[in-house]
Amino acid sequence: MNDFSSQTACLDSLCFKLTDRSAVIGIVGLGYVGQPLMLRYSEIGYRVLGFDLDQQRVDQLNGGYSSIEHIENSRIEAAGQNGFEATTDFSRIAEADGIMLCVPTPLSKYREPDLSFVTNTCDQIAPYLREGQVIALESTTYPGTTKEEILPRLEMNGLRVGENVFAVYSPEREDPANSKFTTNTIPKVVGGHTEACLKAGLALYDQAIDTLVPVSSTETAEMTKLLENIHRAVNIGLVNEMKIVADRMGIDIFEVIDAAATKPFGFTPYYPGPGLGGHCIPIDPFYLTWKAREYNINTRFIELAGEVNAAMPDYVFGKLVGALNECCKPVRGSKIMVLGIAYKKNVDDMRESPSVVLMEMVRDNGGVLSYSDPHVPEFPRMRNHAFDLSSEELTAGILSEQDAVILATNHDVFDYDMILRHAKLIIDTRGVYRASNEHVVRA
């Protein structure tokens, strides 16, 4: 059999197994992206192997428990009954036909891309890769990552990408706790290193995702993900800056946005807040700005939006200081409670939450800090932040004891009428309280 026939046979065999759902799916990284993917493939009949370095997470999943609030334990239990197994043994990657890499891509302390999770994962699985596998990177990254970092590692042991092993980039589009869009209903962009890789990637996702969007290359898919999130970051930066201007002019920015949103074309409403949070929007723009420097391009517009958004916790803290001064109180010694510390409403996701930055500012300036967030009962382990705090029940008594509360994340579970009645001073970063009130400060 010649090389072309061998390549065709390898690709056809892989696509057949993926299409008839006899393939084994391997998911590396069992967090906010990996778990929903695992559940989707398991629920439609695939055998799924999950890989993670965190033994505690592996044990939890094998015991039918998810530490992610919006994922029900019953779904994890059902996946186990359908054959799902989590492991820390990366040698078992050889059992998988389709492999998805769902690992973090944070920034370094110098705000440069940190691909160590991606490259270390590839180094771990490389010795166990075999012919007839498709490997898809789902982590957000800069254009060129798949070609420059993934391909050489896949070919370390003599495999040839596009011939007997296949490389794909397909960016995740998870929106935790958004019931309107699920893993299968969110259209999925897929880019392959070669036409054969693209065919394998489409076969990998076709059974699980309702709508696939094939693009011409992995670089195009990588850039697509960055554009999606930079679009949001820039527009949020714009409205955050306009919030500051409107506040100085005595204008309610939320009223302005709502009025502008009545225009049926040419305007999309974005709303200000205490800063950007989550695993994408605060981070992804800097992946492109870093890569653009390789081409002698200065992405001034993107970087300016990043500066505006990064400065929002300082703006909110300044509002707190000013409001306490009006009450003849310093921050030092004042009891200050942060309401909501997850990065957005109705989730337990703490990644890049601006609430944490505000908490550090209060603590570092001598405030007596507490927080209330039913979605985050205990302050979690985080790479760059540490608090020995637990969520306090939000009662009239607790509220009345505080010198100020910062409404940082507008969870639906909060009783906003009670907060308004009993809190002495409210720093409202989310526009919850629209009516004028002497003890509510908009921030």
Together in a domain, 198 and 338: no
pLDDT of residue 3: 63
What is d(CA 374, CA 188) in angstroms, rounded to the nearest whole number?
33
Of the listed 15, 122, 197, 280, which one is catalytic?
280
Residue that terminates a domain, selected from 190, 216, 242: 216
Average confidence (pLDDT) over 180-185: 92
Q: pLDDT-based confidence at 4, cuts 50/70/90?
A: low
With left for phi above 0 and alpha for psi between -120 and 50, is residue 4 left, alpha or beta?
alpha
Residue 229 lies in a domain: no
pLDDT of residue 2: 56
Q: How many helices (H) and strands (E) does the chain have?
A: 16, 13
What is d(CA 42, CA 50) in angstroms, rounded to the nearest whole number?
11
What is d(CA 52, CA 254) in angstroms, rounded to the nearest whole number?
43
What is d(CA 271, CA 424) in angstroms, rounded to the nearest whole number?
26
Please report, for the domain that includes residue 343, its CATH number.
3.40.50.720
What is d(CA 273, CA 278) in angstroms, rounded to the nearest whole number?
13
Residue 376 lies in a domain: yes
Residue 78 lies in a domain: yes
pLDDT tens for 7-20 read 788 999 999 999 99
Q: How many domains does the chain have?
A: 2
Q: Which domain holds residue 423?
A: 311-442
Which tokens belong to 298?
A: 């200065």
Residue that terminates a domain, selected from 189, 216, 243: 216
pLDDT tens for 247-306 read 999 999 999 999 999 999 999 999 999 998 877 778 888 899 999 999 999 999 999 998
122 is catalytic: no
Q: What is the pTM of this model?
A: 0.91
Residue that terminates a domain, selected from 187, 216, 245: 216
